[in-house]
Copies of this chain bind each other. A is one copy, B any other.
Amino acid sequence: MTQQHPLDAMLHLQPQADGSFVAHTHAGYANMVGPYGGATAALLLHSVLQHPDCLGEPLSLTVNFAGPVGDGAMHIVPRAVRTNRTTQHWVVELRQTDAQTGVQVVATTASVVTAVRRETFSAEAIDAPTVPPAADCPRFDVRRAMTWLQRYDWRIVSGGLPTVWDDSPHPTQSRLWIRDEPARPLDFASLAALCDVFFPRIWLRRARIVPVGTVSLTIYFHADRAQLAAQGSAHVLAQADAQALRNGFFDQTAQVWDTQGHLLATSHQIVYYKE
C-alpha cells in the first residue's frame, strides 16, 4: 500500500447529511498557530471542486481569514449561490466549535468562481523572469523550520530571507522555484496552496521579524487542467512583491509560472503586521 501524500490527507472531507463536510487540520501543515493559510485555501477550494454540482474549473478564489483556525475538526459549508451557463459562483464557510462556549463560529470565508473555458485569443502580457533552473538554485534548509515549510522543496532564486536581522531597508521582491515535498503532480488545490508560500514581505523590507497574519487572499487561475497535467511535479517559478506597507497592513502581489514560462496563476493578499 502506498502512503497518501500529506496534501491529499489534509484535503480529506467527510460528507455530512446536510451537504456540508467535516475536515481535520493536518499536523503536516501546522503553522505557528493552527494550519498554514495556503492549506486552508486549498481545502476550501477543494470542497467546491469535488462537489457533484461543480461546473467547470476554478477561475478565482478569495479567502478571508476571519479568525484563528484551531487544530482539530472543521465544518466546511460550500454553497452554490448562482449557476450560469458557463460560470458558477460559490460561497464557502469554515466553522469551528468554540471549546469554551460550544458555539459554532465562522473562522474563514471564501468565494469561488468556476468556469467552463473555451479556446480564444490568448496572450501573456508579462514575461516570466529569466532565472537559472531550479537545480542550480540553493535549496532552502527547512529542517528546523515550522512544519508546513517542510511540505515544500524550496530553491531560492533571489530575495531570500535577510541573513542579518538589522532593521536595514531591503527590496521586497522574491523569486523562487518550489514544488510539493514529497513531489506530487500539480493540481488546482496544490497550486492554490502554493500561492501563499512567500515569507512576509515586511520581514524582507525591514530585515526584522514582526508578527503577521494574512487577512484576505485572492487567486486568479489562468491554467486549465491540461496545463497543470503537463507541469507534473516539476518546480514552478514563483515571484512575490509588495506595493504598500501602511499602518498595520501590507499587500503582496504574486505570479506563478510553469517551467515553460506560461502563467499558471496570479495572486494578491493583504496582510496584518504588528508595529
Contacts and interface: CB of A to CB of B under 8 A. Distances in A.
Contacts of A172: 125
Given A106-B89, A218-B268, A121 B67 contact: no
Contacts of A272: 87, 115
A47 interface: no
Interface residues of A, number: 63
Given A60-B216, A66-B89, A244 B263 contact: yes
Interface in A201-232: 201-202, 205-206, 215-216, 218, 220, 222, 224
Copy tally for this chain in the complex stands at: 2
A121 B169 CA distance: 12
- Tell me the interface secondary structure of chain A in the complex: strand
14 contacts: A59-B215, A59-B249, A60-B270, A62-B62, A66-B84, A67-B84, A82-B106, A89-B106, A91-B91, A118-B247, A121-B275, A124-B244, A222-B246, A253-B266
Given A87-B272, A266-B268, 17 more contacts: A60-B64, A60-B215, A62-B64, A67-B82, A82-B106, A115-B248, A115-B272, A117-B247, A118-B248, A122-B246, A124-B244, A216-B218, A216-B220, A222-B244, A222-B246, A243-B266, A251-B266
